Structures are given as structure tokens and as C-alpha cells.
Amino acid sequence: MQIVVSEKGGAKIMALSGRLDAVTVGEAEHQLNTLIESGQSIVVIDFETLEYISSAGLRFVLAGAKKLQARNGKLLLAGLGGVVKEVFELAGFYDLLPVFDTPDQAIGSL
């Protein structure tokens, strides 16, 4: 898995590519925790180029959202498609977290 972090409109965007599973989730958790601990309150996770997500990846997303909410922040999701979108829909995440087509739309919603 690859993670690219960028900034736009005061939000950090974490673009994930490849596979987010039990083997790679530690890297994503570390990156998100680093952003949160540095005081970042708005994080957009961009899944556009993510090919696969496991239950470990779903736990990472939910835990990150809870950490940000505890600090009055927000976790926004963007770029969900294909199998990854299906997993999020089946898990009910569309009812739990804000989901947008693109990171720009997510940031524009703030």
C-alpha cells in the first residue's frame, strides 16, 4: 500500500492506493495518528486508487473517525468505487460517516 498526504483548504488528504488489510493497516494507522496528534482536525481519506479493503481497514477508518470526533474534528471519505465502495455500503459506513465523490467535494462541504 502507498499513502500520499497532501493539504488543501486547511484539511489533510490521505490518498491510499493498493490494499488496506491486516498487513498494511499499521502504516495507515501510524500516518493518521501522526496527523491527529499534530493537531489536524479535518482529514479526508481518498480511496480512489485503493483496490481492496479488509475488516482491519474498516476498523482503521472507524477508529480514526472516533479519535477525530473526540477532538472536535472530522473524518471525511472520498473516492469510493468498485469493491471498496461495496464493502463500505455493506458495512453501513455510508450511514456513519460523510462520503463524497472527490476530496474537493469533501473539503467544499466544510
At 33-58, the pLDDT tens digits run: 999 999 999 999 999 999 999 999 99
At 75-107, the pLDDT tens digits run: 999 999 999 999 999 999 999 999 999 999 999
Distance CA 49, CA 29 (A): 18
Provide the whole-model pTM: 0.95
Residue 25: pLDDT band by 50, 70, 90 thresholds? very high
The total number of structural domains in the chain stands at: 1
Distance CA 102, CA 15 (A): 11
Domain that residue 65 falls in: 2-108
Residue 66: pLDDT band by 50, 70, 90 thresholds? very high
**What is residue 52's predicted lDDT score, i.e. its pLDDT?**
96
Closest CA to 13 of 106, 93, 101, 87: 106
CATH number at 89 reads 3.30.750.24
